[in-house]
Chains A and B, each alone.
Chain A
Amino acid sequence: MTRYFVTSILVCLLAASPVSYAVDTTQMPTPELQKRYLGLTHELRCMQCQNEAIADSPVSLAADLRRQVAEMLNAGKSDDDVRNYMVARYGNFILFRPPVSTKTIWVWATPGILLLIGAAVAVRITRQRAALVDQDNEPVEEDIRSS
């Protein structure tokens, strides 16, 4: 099974190696739609060639998905409608931006939590050291501004 799987991945890699890319010349009827189209096609992952967006991927699946996005936008659907449509069929993996849901909130929350912890550490250490500074009579090297 692994052998077959590897073959399919090889096919994908040969067909759409990182040096191959697509130039997507789709033109939407209005600049507003064009902007949304470009935004969405850059946000959706090409499922065959990981780490490429469907905007840049040359495989036919990417072209089909781009067409789908264009059709939905032309039909008046919202950006979220398009995302939900894709996620319903391919799972969260198709989005480059992880959604905010109970199962994924930790991804988004982590940087903020880290910053809070960092701030707490900074406060604690600067306070500690500021309290010591008057008792500390050790001379500092003359070249005070040197690194």
Chain B
Amino acid sequence: MNRFLIPLGAFVLLAIVLAVGLKHSPEKGIIASPLIGKPAPVFTTTLLNDTSAKFDSAEFKGHWTLFNVWGTWCFACRDEHQALLDIAKRKEVRMVGLDWKDEDPTATQWLQDQGGNPFDVIATDHDGRIAVDWGVYGAPETFLVNPQGVIVHKYVGALTMEAWEREFLPRINAKS
């Protein structure tokens, strides 16, 4: 082979890599989670507006759960709020929220202002430890936990009904 073709060959390879990179680039900011397929992190914490009661991660077992991490300071969380309310109405999963880095009264007020509470129960994470355990790096993030307590999917960004139907429902239906 003409060794002078090597540069051209190397360039073709590079171009392919770049083209693939371009194709993937809308998802560029989304880092794949290493927690997929692993059991949900163990934690216990207080509930929003009911500091006497607790949420324990053992409660994930026995049913499908949508675990949504949100905060009042997060703009995109406002965008997804309506979608969460709609998904809640369909009663396909148990809705558990994690209020990340908020004061309880602010959070309660915010939920009201946004149109209601879509969650069956809201756990609080005042100091951010639980979020770190879940590998959360930017709200909102939504996890799908199966009845065995294993994380099967993660969605970064404001959730939409379309995304719910495209990415979450098939997984729920396949397993049952």
Residues of B whose CB lies within 8 Å of any CB of A are 26, 29-35, 74-76, 79-80, 101, 127-129, 131-139, 156-158, 160, 162-163
Contacts and interface: CB of A to CB of B under 8 A. Distances in A.
A67 B155 CA distance: 26
16 contacts: A1-B162, A1-B163, A4-B79, A4-B157, A7-B75, A8-B76, A8-B138, A11-B76, A47-B138, A48-B138, A60-B128, A64-B128, A64-B131, A64-B132, A90-B137, A91-B32
Given A48-B138, A50-B29, A89-B35, 5 more contacts: A2-B26, A11-B76, A47-B137, A61-B131, A65-B132
Interface in A71-91: 87-91
Contacts of A4: 76, 79-80, 157-158, 160
Interface residues of A, number: 23
Instruction: State the majority secondary structure of interface residues on A.
Output: helix
Interface of A: 1-2, 4-5, 7-9, 11-12, 47-48, 50, 60-61, 64-65, 68, 87-91, 93
Contacts of A8: 29, 74-76, 138-139, 156-158
